[in-house]
Chains A and B, each alone.
Chain A
Amino acid sequence: MEQSKFIYQRKDLPKQVELTGYALVLLGFLLGAVSYFAEPVRASMNYLIMFIYLLSIGLGSIFLVAIEYLTGADWSVQFRRISEFFASVFVILVLLVLPLLFNMNNIFNWMNKQFVETDSILKGKTSYLNSTFFIIRVAFCFCIWGLFYFLLQKNSTRQDETKEQLLTTKNIKLSAGFIPLFAITLTIAAVDWLMSLDAHWYSTIFGVYFFAGSVVASLAAVTFTAIKLKEKGYLHPAFTNEQLYSLGTLLFVFINFWAYIAFSQYMLIWYADLPEETIWFMHRWQYGWSYVSLFLILTHFVVPYAVLLSQPSKMDPKRLKFITLWILGAHLVDVFWIVMPNTTGPVISWMDFIFPFAIIGVLIVVFSYKVKRNNLIPIGDPKLQKSIKISL
């Protein structure tokens, strides 16, 4: 289909959407503060869940951008900006991490020096698990992510005006250099924030597991946003269902990848039956947590697999909208399942439903802010024409 000249005009997101975002953020944090005074430990954990969720969206999004540059993919160029906008959540995360850093005592048992004295295993890890080194690592990770995000989106934005091909080359080189650092920093973040919650336990695949969840969640977020924006006319009219197919396929593939990693981790620990490893899964099976574990398998694997299996499903906007929101919810269950069993107390509490509102709010706020200031389509990208022409 030959495209008559398409002139892109930048449009803001509707005012209600933005206001809803702000309202959710406000509601989330206010009620969150209340919950902190009610039960500081649980509230801190919920805050951590929110932080990790947003971090995973940020990491997954930046990964999608980098991988697009590295592989030279054409089809995703027209909605690359959506991933870039979601990646800007890193800026907010720098702020959001501060309450966590001041509240580490409520979260990590290795912060308690007396407790560590009595525990020989934790004592052996104090060279790594101590607050100073922890904060240094956090800072290091944020520097790497922030630097790359900043440089990447600077080049990408500049290309809208100058249309220089050289900027694509620069971003490719940047992405190539970033990916190894991404792997290292993501692993550090996963080990520090999530694995050390149960500091006796260890699993070499944990970084990969967190990576898989992050990519699934980001893909779901990007797909949902792309469909929604397309419906409201924000994207190029040549963005048809056939191009959604690639996103649907990737989503299907990464759901399977997540399940594969999760199963590997579980089965190997189950098979060897070593108490120091099985304890983590025992915590997620006893005292009612078994329901959450089974619920996780159902929501994060069985349902998305069944819905996305057939070829037409992967292209159908309605089904994709449903399943992407579903997957975003499942990712929350995943993060909850990793973090919360480290507390004693009931499986579910009223506090657990507060911070998720803040998650939605932050994402909406961040996205609408970026839409105001940047083009939703990378109009200067040399591969844009190829991207629009791609069909099955």
Chain B
Amino acid sequence: MEIDYSIELPLVEGRPTLADIDRVIARPMETKPSKKYFIALGITVTMLLAGAVCLGLTLFYGIGMWGNNQPVGWGLGIVNFVFWVGIGHAGTLISAVLFLLRQKWRTGIARFAEAMTIFAVMCAGIFPLIHTGRPWLAGYLFPYPNQHGLWVNFTSPLLWDVFAVSTYLTVSFVFWYIGLIPDFATMRDRTTAKIRKTVYSIFSLGWRHSHRNWQHYEKAYMILAGFATPLVLSVHTIVSFDFAVSIMPGWHATIFPPYFVAGAIFSGFAMVVTVLVFVRKVFDLEHIITIDHLEKMNKVILATGMLVGYAYAMEFFIAWYSGQEVERFVFINRAFGPYAWAYWIMVSCNVLFPQLFWSKKVRRSVPVMMVIVILVNVGMWFERFVITVTSLHRDFLPSSWGYYKPTLVDFGILLGSFGLFFTLVLLFTRALPVVSISEIKAVVDGAQPSHHGE
């Protein structure tokens, strides 16, 4: 396949008109959903309800319903939390970082990715709340002057998490909403139904597509993107600090911050690819979310997968180099101890299978990439599991060693979080435009004037 590097590839195939774009993107919002949609929604809502039941049991009977015990005091709660926060990062990366790097190919997928971020962070936020056992007291996590005269412990990474995840949720939501304002305006001007019109009018805040407003809007968008980028890095860094500030062998490694961030991008992109493959098929968006997009994302998956592999190798080498007996043991225990099964799932799914993405054919083949990205998601869940559990279940004192088994309630809540995520995604596809209408219009061929002001 001869590539011509001197030409700019079209970002949207087929040269649609602006009115076409409106029509295609707005269609899911203006038509009744198909039977397949309801079946899918049924499945995800069932998963969600199962999770809700397990959550109710947990709240009523207490954390004893989970498998947490000595020595593994942190179990699936934190594993699921880190997993979901990681998935959220891909969205911000696609919308903010690729925006700053002026990678125009992000336009087709940015809106969707941002929505996924918000839903993933919502799923993630559930876990710190419920693992406290009394989530109704969550207000005390914030430094509000209370009648006990007590303050929160600002030096604790668990509290940094509170601030980081709250900030991340807020900023992602604001970023997403700002992007939606012009689209709400477009929807408002398209629709004739009175209730919809009122709703869109309220949410569009009266946007008039005025260029005087676009000027400030673009500046604000760039400022937000500029802040969202370090924010994304900082959030997963702070999550990694939960582990790395301790003295636990296997946890206290200085490479945790960039390692976790790379892992987050890795798992996040895998989830984005998973969802987008379905979305582009179901909503006829294959000429906007193209194979080129998917291929680029697979390249990012390969690169970040190798970063994760580098981190594994570096941890392992330094564990030997340090001469620390406990540290050396943790790594041997990971590979050959009672959790070896989890470890080898992790290594094969995160390091071995993504290597298939070296082949262009594999990168551009939808069925194969689906398998690989689902394996990546599994592998990344297991990575968090291996990190959390293997360091806790066998640390310094052999008399304290134990084995952790998550209960059905644990798994039920995990299932419920997937249910919540996919339900929100499905609802999103029908309620809001999955592709940013104004952004995609701006990058179609012929959208920009031929001579730029210089």
A/B contact in complex, CB under 8 angstroms: yes
Interface residues of A (CB under 8 A from B): 1, 72, 121, 124-125, 128, 165, 168-169, 176, 179-180, 183-184, 187, 191, 202-208, 249, 256, 260-261, 264-265, 267-269, 271-272, 274, 276, 381-383, 385-386, 391
Q: Are B237 and A264 in contact (CB under 8 A)?
A: yes
Q: A1-B454, A125-B321, A271-B245 are in contact. Are A208 and B6 (CB under 8 A)?
A: no
Instruction: Please report which residues of chain B, range 241-274, place their CB below 8 angstroms from some CB of chain A when the two chains form the complex.
Output: 241, 244-247, 252-258
Tell me whether B4 and A165 are in contact (CB under 8 A). Answer: yes
| Binary A-proximity of B1-43 (CB < 8 A = 1, otherwise 0) | 0111110100000000000000000000000000000000000
Tell me if B230 counts as interface (CB < 8 A to partner A).
yes
Give complex CA distance A168, B3 in Å: 10
Of residues 312 through 332 on chain B, the ones whose CB sits less than 8 Å from some CB of chain A are: 314-315, 318, 321-324
B233 within 8 A of A: yes
Expressed in whole angstroms, the minimum distance between the Cβ of A214 and any Cβ of chain B is 15
> A169 and B3: CB pair below 8 A?
yes
Contact A268 B254 (CB under 8 A): yes
- Give chain A residues whose Cβ lies under 8 Å from the Cβ of B6: 165, 382-383, 385-386
Which B residues are CB-close (under 8 A) to A128? 321
Q: Are A249 and B314 in contact (CB under 8 A)?
A: no
On whether the beta carbons of B255 and A204 are closer than 8 Å, the reply is yes
Which of B2, B233, B247, B255 has a CB less than 8 Å from the CB of A260? Answer: B233
Q: Which of B118-138 touch A at CB < 8 Å?
A: none
A165-B3, A183-B310 given as contacts; is B257 within 8 A of A124 (CB)?
A: no
- 17 A-B residue pairings within 8 Å (CB atoms): A128-B321, A165-B2, A165-B6, A187-B310, A202-B322, A203-B255, A204-B314, A204-B318, A205-B253, A260-B233, A264-B237, A267-B245, A268-B244, A268-B245, A268-B256, A272-B246, A385-B6
Q: Please name all residues of chain A whose beta carbon is closer than 8 Å to the beta carbon of B306 when the two chains form the complex.
A: 179-180, 183
Evaluate contact between A165 and B5: CB separation under 8 angstroms. Answer: yes
User: Are the C-beta atoms of B247 and A274 separated by less than 8 Å?
Assistant: yes
With contacts A125-B321, A272-B247 known, is A205 near B254, CB below 8 A? yes
- Chain B residues, CB < 8 A from A121: 323
Most buried by A among B8, B257, B452: B257
Shortest Cβ gap from A266 to chain B (Å):
9
A205 CB contacts on chain B under 8 angstroms:
253-255, 257-258
B48-69 interface code vs A (CB 8 A; 1 in, 0 out)? 0000000000000000000000
Q: Which residues of B contact A264 (CB under 8 A)?
A: 237, 254, 256-258
CA distance A84 to B6 in the complex (A): 21
CA distance A30 to B59 in the complex (A): 76
- Nearest CB on A from B387, distance (A): 13
Q: Are A383 and B241 neighbours in the complex by a CB distance under 8 Å?
A: no
Mark contacts of B320-353 with chain A using CB atoms, 8 A cut-off: 1 yes-contact digit, 0 otherwise.
0111100000000000000000000000000000
- Tell me if B3 and A204 are in contact (CB < 8 A): no
Note all chain A residues with C-beta closer than 8 A to B255: 203-205, 208
Chain A residues within 8 Å of B253, by CB:
204-205
Per the 8 Å Cβ criterion, residues 286-328 of B in contact with A are: 303, 306, 310-311, 314-315, 318, 321-324
Q: Which residues of B contact A206 (CB under 8 A)?
A: 254
Main secondary structure of the interface of A (DSSP, over half): helix
Structural contact, B257 and A187, CB atoms closer than 8 A: no
Residue of A nearest to B233 (CB): A260
Contacts of A385 in B (CB 8 A): 6
* B interface residue count range (under 10 / 10 to 19 / 20 to 34 / 35 or more): 35 or more
Q: Specify the chain A residue showing the minimal Cβ separation from B243.
A: A268
> Of B4, B315, B323, which is within 8 A of A204 by CB?
B315
* Chain B, residue nearest A246 (CB): B102
- Which single residue of chain B is at the shortest CB-CB distance from A206? B254
Indicate which residue in A1, A180, A184, A203 contacts B254 across the interface (CB closer than 8 Å): A203
CB-based nearest A residue for B251: A272
Shortest Cβ distance from A391 into B: residue = B452
Q: Are B245 and A124 in contact, CB atoms less than 8 angstroms apart?
A: no
Does any Cβ of A come within 8 Å of B275's Cβ? no
Most central of B2, B237, B321, B452 by chain A CB within 10 Å: B321
Contact of A269 among B230, B241, B254, B318 (CB under 8 A): B254
Complex Cα–Cα for A207 and B310 (A): 10
**Minimum C-beta distance from B56 to chain A (A):** 37
Bound-state CA distance A183–B6 (Å) is 30
A180-B306, A272-B247 are contacts. A265–B233 as well, Cβ < 8 Å? no
Flag if A204 contacts B452 (CB, 8 Å): no
Chain B residues, CB < 8 A from A168: 5
Given contacts A205-B254, A264-B237, contact A256 B230 (CB under 8 A): yes
- Min CB distance B72 to A, Å, is 21
Q: How far is the CA of A191 from the CA of B256 in the complex (A)?
A: 18
State the Cβ distance, A274 to closest chain B Cβ, in Å.
6
Measured CA separation A313–B339 after assembly (Å): 53
* Distance between A72 CB and nearest chain B CB, rounded to angstroms: 8
Q: Which residues of A contact B311 (CB under 8 A)?
A: 204
Q: Give the interface centre of B2, B241, B322, B452 by most chain A CB atoms within 10 Å.
A: B322
Report A133 CB to chain B, min CB distance, Å.
13
Min CB–CB distance B11 → chain A (angstroms): 14
B285 interfacial contact with A, CB 8 Å: no
User: Given A274-B247, A391-B452, do A204 and B254 touch, yes or no (CB 8 Å)?
Assistant: yes
Min CB distance, A256 to chain B, in Å? 7
Nearest chain A CB to B374 CB, angstrom units: 24
Known: A204-B318, A205-B258. A383 touches B5 (CB 8 A): yes
Contact A382 B233 (CB under 8 A): no
Q: A264-B254, A264-B257 are in contact. Are A272 and B4 (CB under 8 A)?
A: no
Q: Which 4 A-B pairs have the closest CB atoms?
A: A204-B255, A205-B254, A382-B6, A382-B5
Give the complex CA separation of A126 and B258 in angstroms. 30
Task: Please state if B323 and A124 are interface contacts (CB–CB under 8 Å).
Answer: yes
**Residue in A closest to B258 when the chains form the complex, CB atoms:** A208
Please measure, in the bound complex, the distance between the C-alpha atom of A205 and the C-alpha atom of B317, giving whole angstroms: 12
Give the docked Cα–Cα distance between A176 and B299 (Å).
10
For B3, list chain A residues within 8 Å (CB): 165, 169
CA distance A204 to B254 in the complex (A): 5
Chain A residues, CB < 8 A from B247: 272, 274
**Are the CB atoms of A382 and B4 closer together than 8 Å?**
yes
- Let me know if B100 is at the binding interface, CB within 8 A: yes
In the complex, are the beta carbons of A272 and B252 less than 8 A apart?
yes
Report whether A260 and B454 are in contact in the complex, using a CB–CB cutoff of 8 Å. no
In the bound complex, CA of A71 to CA of B51 (Å):
42
Nearest neighbor of A203 in chain B, beta-carbon distance: B254
Q: Which residue of A lies closest to B100 (CB)?
A: A249
Contacts beyond the supplied A124-B323, A165-B5, A168-B5: 19 A-B pairs with Cβ under 8 Å: A72-B5, A191-B321, A202-B318, A203-B318, A204-B311, A204-B315, A204-B318, A205-B253, A205-B257, A208-B258, A264-B237, A265-B254, A267-B245, A268-B244, A268-B252, A271-B245, A272-B245, A272-B252, A385-B6
**Which residues on A sit within 8 Å (CB–CB) of B2?**
165
Q: How far is A65 from B103 in the complex, measured between Cα atoms in Å?
A: 18
